Amino acid sequence: MPQRLLGRDIFDVLAPLGFLDVSFTSPLGRRLRRRDPVIGTDLRRLARAGRLRLTPRVQEASGFRPNYSWLDIPLLDDRGHPVHEGGVTGVPGVSFLGLPWQRTRGSALLGGVGRDAEVIVRRETDRLRGRSAV
């Protein structure tokens, strides 16, 4: 998916349409999670326009795969993923932030992490005050 669409950043287009607020449990969220688009992958278009030259070799390769095995508390499922509800775990004081599809499509993006942080702080504060985390 291109980073820019009709001269505008793709996130400026997706946000007003509600795509960044789609819940991971909604029908649209489940469908989007099947193949999460990669933003800024319009390399072929740039190459065709002569603005980028693609070479058939790998200069450097790296990847990202989360690893929580260093956590010495029972927080992971059988696949090694954190067990949580909106980032809040069953272990008091331990929460996650910035996970893909934590609450919405925007959860792992800088523009969406703030809303998730507010929810986590509210839930942890309620838990500390003895109220149930909702």
Residue 36 has pLDDT above 80, yes or no: no
What is the reported pLDDT for 60? 46
Global pTM reads: 0.56
Angstrom distances, CA of residue 37 to CA of 10, 41, 84, 102 = 12, 9, 24, 16
Mean pLDDT confidence for 70-86: 87
Mean pLDDT confidence for 99-103: 89
Q: Which of the four pLDDT bands, split at 50, 70 and 90, describes residue 29?
A: confident
